[in-house]
Amino acid sequence: MTDMNILQVQNLKKDFGSHQVLKDITFSVNRGDVISIIGASGSGKSTLLRCINFLEDPTAGKILYHGKDAEQLNRAEYHSKVGMVFQSFNLFSNMSALDNCIIGQTLVLKRSKQEAKKKAMEYLEKVGMTPYMNARPGQLSGGQKQRVAIARALAMDPEILLFDEPTSALDPEMVGEVLSVMRDLAEGGLTMLVVTHEMGFARDVSNRVIFMDQGVIAEDAPPAEIFTNPKQQRTREFLSRILDK
């Protein structure tokens, strides 16, 4: 049972000055979970992911990784196990797509150059970006950049991938290509925590949906329940607003 558990977020709080952005967040992620995090702009979704990945220092609370306090773990090892895909891609712009997928493996995981390259090619293939492996990020479209960014994260052999609105910066016609990669990953059994405004993805792909409102988890339930029979009034209001659009 505990072996199934990858992450436990316990009473997480985050303040920016006097602004309490995360108030008291507690939830856990089990192996194979695909969790969509939804909620209005400013409700703290990005901050939550950034705290889990220590891009922000939590003000209070704990993050347990396989039952161990993540802050006490080796940072490099934790980061390689908990990957992140950003809204704005953040591909290293001084490197080719291929090198983007190699560098973390050689520097952090100390893999040999050949092994890293083999792995990188494998994942570029998986996201359909093999033909562009020598291109610089500046030469790729948004959807292509995001697919390379996903390959870069996967090449680290993460146990869980965090996605922060991976399709929000994309032109509408490119959203599909990235979502279909993510769908494949979910079907392949990857554990994922996805902040998204794509309700279709939340409903069809995830096994759990977390609705955040003003720094707290207002509801955490399977999509069938959230979308058809939400317990909370505010969930209902949010969904009717977003689905009407």
Ligand X SMILES: Nc1ncnc2c1ncn2[C@@H]1O[C@H](COP(=O)(O)OP(=O)(O)OP(=O)(O)O)[C@@H](O)[C@H]1O
Q: Which does 16 bind (CB under 5 to 8 A by kind): Mg ion, ligand X, another protein, none?
A: ligand X
Cα 208 to Cα 56: distance, rounded to the nearest angstrom = 25
Among 7, 29, 84, 202, binds another protein (CB under 8 A): 84
Among 8, 43, 46, 196, binds Mg ion (CB under 5 A): 46
Both tokens of 220, joined, read 């955490």
Contact status: 43 vs ligand X (CB under 6 A): yes
Among 42, 131, 176, 222, binds ligand X (CB under 6 A): 42
Q: Give the angle subtended at the CA of 179 by the CAs of 76 and 21, to the nearest 5°.
A: 55
Residue 133, CA distances (Å) to 63, 96, 188, 190 in order: 36, 7, 23, 24
**Which DSSP category does 163 fall into?**
E
Both tokens of 140, joined, read 């790729």
Residue 233, CA distances (Å) to 38, 117, 161, 192, 237 in order: 15, 51, 31, 27, 6
Stretch that binds ligand X, among 44-52, 61-69, 171-179, 234-242 (CB under 6 A): 44-52
Of 62 and 136, the one with the shorter C-beta distance to another protein is 136
Q: Which does 11 bind (CB under 5 to 8 A by kind): ligand X, another protein, Mg ion, none?
A: none
Closest separation between CB of residue 177 and ligand X, Å?
22
Contact status: 174 vs another protein (CB under 8 A): yes
3-state helix, strand and coil shares in percent for the chain, rounded to the nearest 5: 45, 25, 30
Residues of this chain that interact with Mg ion (CB under 5 A) are: 46
Which residues of this chain interact with another protein, rule CB under 8 A?
53-55, 57, 75-80, 83-84, 86, 88, 90-94, 103-104, 107-109, 128, 130-136, 139-141, 143-144, 149, 152-153, 156, 174, 177
